[in-house]
Amino acid sequence: MSAKKQFLFIDFEFTMPEKNVRTREFFPEIIEAGVVSVIDNKIQSQFSAYVRPARFPILSDRCKSFLHITQEQIDAGMPFADLVRYFQELGRNQENTIVTWGNMDMKVLRHNCEASRLPFPLRGKEIDLSMEYKRFFGDQNQTGLWKAVQEYGKEGTGKHHRALDDALTTYNIFKLVEKDKRYLEKPKPTTIGDRIDFSKLLNEFV
């Protein structure tokens, strides 16, 4: 049985240090995951979970305030190893394309796997949709996820900085960009000159 083409739209929220407090050991850890699986242009599954950080389990006040996440929610979250197992199962026997807004999500997942001595669970092509969007529209700067949606005259799904809502919003922009690409790739309509061989036509009158 041949593998199906699966698009995985992924968004993570991470821990962050207090403002102006630098700890040499600190690195961002995933504390919320949102995943949308799409096959044949249909959503197959949606996943949303809080994740317990392994190295720095206590959230900074800045992190809680910025993401509107409580320590209790994170304490009750799934272990990072379970998130890795979820991705392994989700991507198995599929031809995966992983789509994120920006390159931080995959960087942090890779680093978290290394820090926990776990294998990176996702195999497949990776697309940074923010760069595709930037190239497609010729923007000088990378655009924020929700600003990009508004530029399309749409609204984001749910709340910004909620992982599943951001993953769904990424999927919605992906569909809009792909539609625009197909529109631009359409061949120009043929002119009357293309349809009629004028040399043959003239010969008929000679």
Query: Cα-Cα-Cα-Cα dihedral of 106, 108, 112, 115, to 10°?
Result: 120
Closest CA to 73 of 103, 52, 54, 56: 52
Choosing from 111, 132, 151, 161, the catalytic residue is 161
Whether residue 161 lies in the annotated active site? yes
- d(C-alpha 171, C-alpha 148), whole Å: 12
Choosing from 13, 29, 126, 132, the catalytic residue is 13
CA–chain centroid gap for 71, Å, is 26
Whether residue 13 lies in the annotated active site? yes
Report the catalytic residues. Answer: 13, 161
